[in-house]
Homo-oligomer: A and B are copies of this chain.
Amino acid sequence: MSEQYQKVSEEQHKKVQVNPYGPNPSDYLSNVRSFQLIESTLREGEQFANAFFTTEKKIEIAKALDDFGVDYIELTSPVASEQSRADCEAICKLGLKAKILTHIRCHMDDAKVAVETGVDGVDVVIGTSQFLRQYSHGKDMSYITKSAVEVIEFVKSKGIEIRFSSEDSFRSDIVDLLNIYKTVDKIGVNRVGIADTVGCANPRQVYELVKTLKSVVSCDIECHFHNDTGCAIANAYTALEAGAKLIDVSLLGIGERNGITPLGGLMARMIAADREYVMSKYKLHKLRDLENLVAEAVQVNIPFNNPITGFCAFTHKAGIHAKAILANPSTYEILNPSDFGLSRYIHFANRLTGWNAIKSRVEQLNLNLSDDQVKEVTNKIKKLGDVRPLTIDDVDSIIKDFHADISTPLITASEGPIPVNDETTLLDNVKRPKLN
């Protein structure tokens, strides 16, 4: 039986991947099947309230990200502090496969320090919105353009990659934006960046802006989305549909305020669109360890509702869900937990349980009951589930008592949660370790 379940599962999961959830064929500039990641836990993530990374911790995180398969690792500006510079140099010397970037203001002072650290590229940013021009640096667009050109030509002369990004792009004047992007594209930047610095953008705005920008520049487009209004993953996906190539992410999304597009959440979104590309490029079974590494370093818990690694991301509870999942997991799953080295659970010890889940449990206990008998014992379980939270022991006791009443004495019975097959485990409420 176990084999049969798995076979159906594999086939069906494949079907889902080639079905309507892939890239939209009308997005002819889409990079959904060819996106790259700029991992910024060691830059944006250092701006998270709780973050203090020692040199050793930075190196550990950089190596783990590199092993996972990220394309770029972005580091705090070397002018932020003495140690920030030393750490940047140390990480450049590790010889990682990922390219190392550092992130600086659009100043020659910063650029001169950055190019000496050994990085593969420099990410330059300057505020272009009215807000930032008025309250942050106080410069006008012609000054911004002049600085940008100077910094870009300098970094290019050193033979390393250069990205120019506006800041707060979605509150910047569109004409200002396109003008400066066109200028920096002409002088040969590797990438231009769009940044939703305050987290205000929504997906269709993102699609429009990226699509427009795509018609103006020939270089790659990178996007950076804050999550203040909860759209950072969706905005990243929509940007890729419109033709952006690179997305800034961090582990658990850590960054200023409530952070940016999380690496794990974006993996969930992308694997639903192109499983083959994502599986071939990134070591998804290391995602949980990566998240735990940074969660421990910044002293937070993995959110209970985190995509993929939240403790209940693959737990099915309602009776009709459990029934269908037992027949074929793709009925209620777009992600396959085994792609991430994780398992699914059927939560049957509660008042919402159905007789199909209980029937599975009866079979696990090596007992024989007719369907009508299973329905009868299910009603007894629901009755107790109305009174209090149940454990697996509670359910097993009810089943065994019921069985004893109607038949010969019990010979064998397995204890504890038992896998239905290699991937699915029946689970109670109370015994689950509280992971967050």
Contacts and interface: CB of A to CB of B under 8 A. Distances in A.
Contacts of A307: 227-230, 258
A382 B77 CA distance: 13
A200 interface: yes
Given A230-B268, A301-B301, A313-B258, A202 B347 contact: no
A78 to B, nearest CB: 12
A359 interface: no
For chain A, give the interface size range: 35 or more
A170 B49 CA distance: 39
Interface in A306-331: 306-307, 310-321, 323-324, 327-328, 330-331
Interface string A16-32: 10011100100000000
B131 A331 contact: yes
A18 to B, nearest CB: 13
A48 B229 contact: no
Contact of A21 (B134, B170, B386): B170
Nearest to A335: B228
Interface stretch (A231-239, A285-293, A362-370, A396-404): A231-239
Interface stretch (A81-89, A111-119, A158-166): A81-89
A229 B335 contact: yes
A135 B200 contact: no
Given A49-B429, A268-B228, A321 B256 contact: yes
A172 to B, nearest CB: 10
A334 B238 contact: no
A204 B241 contact: yes
A83 B352 CA distance: 11
A48 B350 CA distance: 11
Contacts of A300: 304, 436
A229 B320 contact: no
A357 to B, nearest CB: 13
B131 A228 contact: no
Interface of A: 12, 16, 19-21, 24, 46-50, 52, 76, 80-84, 105, 127, 131-132, 134-136, 168, 170-171, 197-205, 207, 227-231, 233-235, 237-238, 241, 252-254, 256-259, 262, 265-266, 268-269, 272-273, 299-301, 303-307, 310-321, 323-324, 327-328, 330-335, 345, 347, 350-352, 382-383, 385-389, 429, 432, 434, 436
> 6 closest A-B pairs (Cβ-Cβ)?
A234-B234, A303-B303, A83-B386, A230-B233, A203-B203, A230-B265
10 contacts: A12-B131, A47-B317, A49-B312, A49-B317, A82-B382, A135-B324, A135-B328, A204-B204, A229-B307, A254-B305
